Structure 1
Amino acid sequence: MTDEPASPSKRDEARAAAKRRRTKGLDRREAIFDLFVSGFSHQQIAKALDASTSTVRRILDTDVAERQLDAPERFARVQIARLSKALSHADLKLEQGDIRAFTPYLKIVAALDRYHRLDARGLPQRLAHTEDVLSAPAPLLALPGPAPTDPAPDEEVADFGA
């Protein structure tokens, strides 16, 4: 008898190679889906993973079709988490003085408001329209003129303890 392990047969090697390919394919599909959910476009994902845009689209279409829908409560929690992350990013941009982040900030706040109302009352609320959110504020009230008992401005004399 020899102490050397028996070399795997060609069939075993082929099965191991097929398993590695499947595992690599699953890892790639998960990476593509995670990037897509994170907000990257098909083109950005294809460039990052050195694949074609049509391959990325095909993989995403297959993944989306195979996934089961989450329960509404779980979906709302996931959306709130995603929107909260986006809100903190938009808030950071506003703090840095980027006024282009103002419109997305308002949209995110409106969407978060919708999800929180859905959780609190159990009733779906409509998303605020951009016109509602961005409408001009009410005009300022006019300040009243000097009261009749007030002295005229040119007659005022200040006595600062002199």
Structure 2
Amino acid sequence: MYCQTCGDLIPDDSAFCPSCGKRLVSATPPAEEAPVEYAGFIRRVAACILDSLVITALFFVPATLFGFILTIFMDSSQVFSLLLEIKPIIYIIAFIFSFFYYAYLESSQRQATVGKRAIGIAVTDADGERISFGRATVRYIGKLLSELFFPVFFIIAVTRKKQGLHDMAAGTLVVKKRV
């Protein structure tokens, strides 16, 4: 193949001419790729609601049953004081459970939590690839900080790539899954 600008002979797989540096125009156009569709605010809220239901079912329902079982064996005032004492531990366990739910599932092969999968969206990096567990961790912590300031979530509705601050911090996108 020859450079259209300087006429030098160049390897067929080159993207630029090694002599003049000009970008080469390929004789065969690249395969047309479908444009990325970003998941908007409403889809993401729906997925969040579904995930909240899943987390409730997987963690809080068993915890409530545990409290109910305690009332069978203990006086209700004893149960109440015990629950007050272990309340911080329950919050820590709930945080750890929620963290692993989001970080593990979003960095998994499916790239989505149960709620996101049900809605048909997935978490990717800027290139559309699967994110690492570390990046999913940064995203989760960023999401917790964003939740402290609820109106910050509305930024998803107005940004070009439909990113929240936690997505921007982690370098992630939430996209509609291709079928």
Q: Scaled by the length of structure 1, what TM-score is found? A: 0.27
Higher helix share: 1
Determine which structure has greater relative contact order: mean sequence separation of CA pairs < 8 Å that are 6+ residues apart, divided by chain length: 2
Higher strand share: 2
Q: Scaled by the length of structure 2, what TM-score is found? A: 0.25
The structure whose Rg is larger is: 1
